[in-house]
Amino acid sequence: MSIEDLKKQAAEKAVEQAQSGMVLGLGTGSSAKYATMKIGELWQAGELTDIVGIPTSESTVMLAIKYGIPLATLDTYPFVDLAIDGADEIDPDLNLIKGLGGALLREKMIEAAAKKFIVVADGSKVVEKLGTRAPLPVEVVQFCWKSTARWLESLGCTPVLRGDEAQPFVTDNGNYILHCTFPHGIDHPTELAATLKNRPGVVEHGLFLGMAAEAIVATADGITVMSR
């Protein structure tokens, strides 16, 4: 079974919790797209009715439009019944690193507004310690981004601009992303999250701590549900 098959299994399992009448947070990335596609199929079949999707990126907007899913924003619907999204790392306490899909700011805004946030992933995303498998994405303003990168380096990581200087990746919000690699993982994620949040020039970071209620993880041996 391929990694894509596992991602699809996990995402479709999560969609079983979607119900008619819900406001649904639609995630971004290689796992979350399968959830949006399944929601779209159920919508088209009339098995899900009276739903509203709140997309976490412009790419998810385009995918949802293909299925005709009614869309809105948090301005209109400030509370989300159920959000489904992927993760780059999941630790045993369901703390996450997210953002390698480039949409971490909108993801965090929408998932923080969700009554329930479910993470979907294949088994390779489960780690004992955050930062051991994936870099930590940090969204920064373009202005003086090299200065911000030097400050990030002082925290013990190696920050690398997503893309390159000639053609950097620009988020839907017009910002850059620095991928921060910690050589021995992240020892104190709560403290790091607070430090990053308080730094001028840092817009948001990919530490999603205490936000996920459930993780649905698919492996070759089947599906595991992790809960907090």
14 three-class SS: helix
Residue 52 burial by Cβ neighbours in a 10 Å radius (0-12, 13-18, 19+): middle
pLDDT at 91: 98
* Catalytic residue positions, numbered: 107
d(CA 177, CA 196): 13
pTM summary value? 0.96
CATH classification code of 3-123+209-227 = 3.40.50.1360
Domain extents for the chain? 3-123+209-227, 136-204
pLDDT at 1: 80
Q: Kindly list the averaged pLDDT for each block of 10 residues, start to end, along the chain of length 228.
A: 94 98 97 98 98 98 98 98 98 97 97 98 96 98 98 98 96 98 97 98 98 96 93
d(CA 175, CA 182): 22
Superfamily of domain 136-204: ACT domain (3.30.70.260)
